[in-house]
């Protein structure tokens, strides 16, 4: 009963934030989110990397080797949830093409170019294109140049957070010294190069 209530609460939260998702739609996204994370830091049994003698020594020294259950505050749990929501709120190539008024083949070209000029998450044969790259019905100014500097190994949640988190290096005197996120900096029409340079150093 408690598990069902928790699940219902999760869907209510997602829906209240504009992420329309049915139970059968969320589960594959969560599975994909988990599969993409580095699990080496969260081994189910710590003894996998230890000999029997090493495990005994550690346990005699007071170390617990019992697997720990992850709660809602654990960074892994939070990243899984954030990645699943990111996928669910993303656009398909067809939806992106419709928004920008171009052919879907043009969107695929930008996603697969070397380097890409549009950020997408590929799962199987499908592309998920995060909405943070858009400003209304158009792309955020300069986002293609910034995306082209991103390392391809970066986790999508890290990319999303970076684009949307205020950065101390992005402060404009014209805005009273206000600190902006990379996305807002670009949307304000400020120079692209500082953001592109930051992207290349992530």
Rg of the chain (C-alpha set) = 21
pLDDT under 70 in the chain at which residues? 1-49, 63-77
Residues 74 and 166 in one domain: no
| pLDDT for position 175 | 74
CA distance 154 to 161: 11
Rounded to 5°, the CA angle 160-162-165 comes to 105
Residues 39 and 54 in one domain: yes
Q: Which of 23, 24, 30 is nearest to 9 (CA)?
A: 23
| pLDDT for position 81 | 77
Can you point out the beta strands (E) in the chain?
121-123, 126-128, 134-135, 138-139, 171-172, 178-179
Residues 81 and 133 in one domain: no
- Among residues 40, 58, 88, the one where a domain terminates is 88
Residues 78 and 22 in one domain: yes
Q: Which domain holds residue 55?
A: 2-88
Residues 101 and 165 in one domain: yes
pTM exceeds 0.85: no
CA distance 161 to 173: 24
Residues 82 and 100 in one domain: no
| pLDDT for position 53 | 79
| pLDDT for position 17 | 46
């Amino acid at each position: 009963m408690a598990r069902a209530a928790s699940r219902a609460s999760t869907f209510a939260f997602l829906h209240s934030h504009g992420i329309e998702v049915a139970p059968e739609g969320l589960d594959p996204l969560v599975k994909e989110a988990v599969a993409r994370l580095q699990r080496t830091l969260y081994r189910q049994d710590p003894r996998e990397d230890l000999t029997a003698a090493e495990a005994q020594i550690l346990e005699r020294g007071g170390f617990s080797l019992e697997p720990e259950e992850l709660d809602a505050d654990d960074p892994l749990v939070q990243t899984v949830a954030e990645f699943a929501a990111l996928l669910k709120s993303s656009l398909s190539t067809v939806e992106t093409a419709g928004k920008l008024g171009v052919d879907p083949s043009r969107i695929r070209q930008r996603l697969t170019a070397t380097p890409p000029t549009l950020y997408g998450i590929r799962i199987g044969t499908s592309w998920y294109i995060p909405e943070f790259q858009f400003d209304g019905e158009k792309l955020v100014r300069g986002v293609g140049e910034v995306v082209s500097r991103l390392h391809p190994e970066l986790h999508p949640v890290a990319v999303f957070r970076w684009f949307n988190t205020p950065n101390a290096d992005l402060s404009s005197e014209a805005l009273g010294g206000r600190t902006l996120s990379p996305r807002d900096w670009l949307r304000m029409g400020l120079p692209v190069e500082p953001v592109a340079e930051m992207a290349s150093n992530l």
